[in-house]
């Protein structure tokens, strides 16, 4: 049901219609209406999405750190996805939970058009910068919204992707929505590479111990704590109607510094900078001392692993 405009606020569309219906058109009124519409669009862009499914504090303040310190997507990952999905530089891709646009940029050579969806305005600002830097403005569309309400304007999609994002959404509902928007034989790709919280390298364990000392042993997630998905992603996709479900792993060797470790932490939901409040400098000093003491050579290396899940929409899949 469409909500009525407040009695003391005239709908901007009505102002616009009145201005162009006049003969001659009321240019002053038209100008006023256009300015009001632009201001309204700006407010919509910057206002957090209000939804019981979305906690606006989840990644609040993380976007600049995410753009700078999150590891990029290796070409081995994008190449494997392209080969296995039979991509041929045509069609459209939707990246759900696109964040700062890393995966959109990484996959931009494989599609005619790419659409990024994210509920966080600050993440989308960083994504726009990345898209502009790579001169992809004519190829990439960025939309503010959240799963399972996926954008149908550009359907059908050749591929729908979730890069470091599927664990944040309503998986069953989102998988069904993705199946509906894919073209026959279209693919879904779910990928992730873990985090310092789940890391098994010794220095990562030290990082987690220090974070727990300051924030507690439960993994933070916005205004609450993180809850593991109830079902395996393969089971979710199968239940939604996907077929040809395949799993792949790609190793990614990484080297870190204390600066990039701290920057990465501030890009996460469990250790975003805001959570430390006035103690943020003391936390940084504590973490630096702990790492310097246990790893005096200053070498912080890991062999990260991308887990990639690919599935197809059957050519004869019924409409959801």
The answer to whether 62 and 127 have CB atoms below 8 angstroms apart is: no
In a domain, 245, yes or no: yes
Q: How far is CA 76 from the centre of its chain?
A: 21
Count the neighbouring beta carbons within 10 Å of the beta carbon of residue 184.
11
The tokens of 128 are what? Answer: 């726009």
pLDDT value of residue 56 = 83
262 and 308: one domain?
yes
The pLDDT, as a whole number, for residue 223 is 80
CA 135 from chain centre, in angstroms, equals 20
What pLDDT score does 222 carry? 81
Both 124 and 233 in a single domain? yes
- Clarify whether residues 33 and 75 are in a common domain: no
Quick one: 167 and 133 in the same domain? Answer: yes
Same domain, 231 and 149: yes
Helices 202-215, 258-265: crossing angle, 10 deg rounding: 50
Q: Check whether residue 30 and residue 123 sit in a common domain.
A: no
Query: What φ, ψ does residue 32 adopt, rounded to 5°?
Result: -65, -40
Could you tell me if 33 and 159 lie in one domain?
Answer: no
Q: Is residue 5 part of a domain?
A: no
Residue 317 lies in a domain: no
User: Has residue 58 been placed in a domain?
Assistant: no
The CATH number given to whatever domain includes residue 226 is 3.40.50.150
Query: Is residue 94 within 8 Å of 117, Cβ to Cβ?
Result: yes
Predicted confidence at residue 79, as pLDDT, reads 98
1 domain residue, yes or no: no
**Any domain includes 319:** no
Beta-strand relationship, 243-256 and 140-144: unpaired
Provide the number of structural domains found in the chain: 2
Q: What's phi and psi for 250, nearest 5 deg?
A: -130, 125
Write out the residue range of the structural domain in which residue 27 sits.
Answer: 12-46
Indicate whether 115 belongs to any domain: yes
CA-closest candidate to residue 108, choices 131, 127, 76 = 131
Is the bond preceding 24 in cis, omega lying within 30 degrees of 0? Answer: yes
Residues 16 and 132 in one domain: no
Give me the average pLDDT of each 10-residue run along the chain (320 residues).
Answer: 38 41 54 44 38 75 98 97 96 98 98 97 98 97 96 96 96 97 97 96 98 97 88 97 98 98 98 97 98 97 98 76
Examine the domain organization and report whether 232 and 143 are in the same domain.
yes
Q: Do 26 and 84 have their domain in common?
A: no
Same domain, 19 and 112: no
* Confidence at residue 316, expressed as pLDDT on a 0 to 100 scale: 77
* 137 and 16 within one domain: no
């Amino acid at each position: 049901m469409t909500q009525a405009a407040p009695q003391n606020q005239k709908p901007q569309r009505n102002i616009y219609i009145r201005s162009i219906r006049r003969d001659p058109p009321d240019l002053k009124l038209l100008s006023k209406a256009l300015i009001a519409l632009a201001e309204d669009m700006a407010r919509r862009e910057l206002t957090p999405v209000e939804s019981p499914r979305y906690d606006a504090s989840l990644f609040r303040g993380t976007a600049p750190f995410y753009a700078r310190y999150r590891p990029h997507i290796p070409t081995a990952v994008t190449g494997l996805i392209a080969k296995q999905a039979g991509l041929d530089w045509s069609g459209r891709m939707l990246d759900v939970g696109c964040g700062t646009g890393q995966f959109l940029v990484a996959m931009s050579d494989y599609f005619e058009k790419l659409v990024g969806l994210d509920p966080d305005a600050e993440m989308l600002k960083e994504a726009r910068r990345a898209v502009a830097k790579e001169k992809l403005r004519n190829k990439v569309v960025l939309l503010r919204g959240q799963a399972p309400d996926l954008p149908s304007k550009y359907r059908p999609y050749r591929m729908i992707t979730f890069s470091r994002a599927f664990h944040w959404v309503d998986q069953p509902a989102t998988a069904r929505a993705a199946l509906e928007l894919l073209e026959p034989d279209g693919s879904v790709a779910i990928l992730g590479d873990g985090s310092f919280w789940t890391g098994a390298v010794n220095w990562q364990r030290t990082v987690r111990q220090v974070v727990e000392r300051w924030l507690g042993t439960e993994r933070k997630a916005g205004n609450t704590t993180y809850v593991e998905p109830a079902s395996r992603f393969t089971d979710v996709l199968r239940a939604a109607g996907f077929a040809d479900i395949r799993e792949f792993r790609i190793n990614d060797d990484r080297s870190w510094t204390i600066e990039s470790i701290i920057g990465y932490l501030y890009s996460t939901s469990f250790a975003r900078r805001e959570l430390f409040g006035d103690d943020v400098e003391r936390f940084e000093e504590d973490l630096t001392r702990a790492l310097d003491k246990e790893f005096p050579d200053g070498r912080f290396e890991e062999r990260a692993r991308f887990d990639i899940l690919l599935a197809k929409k059957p050519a004869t899949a019924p409409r959801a």
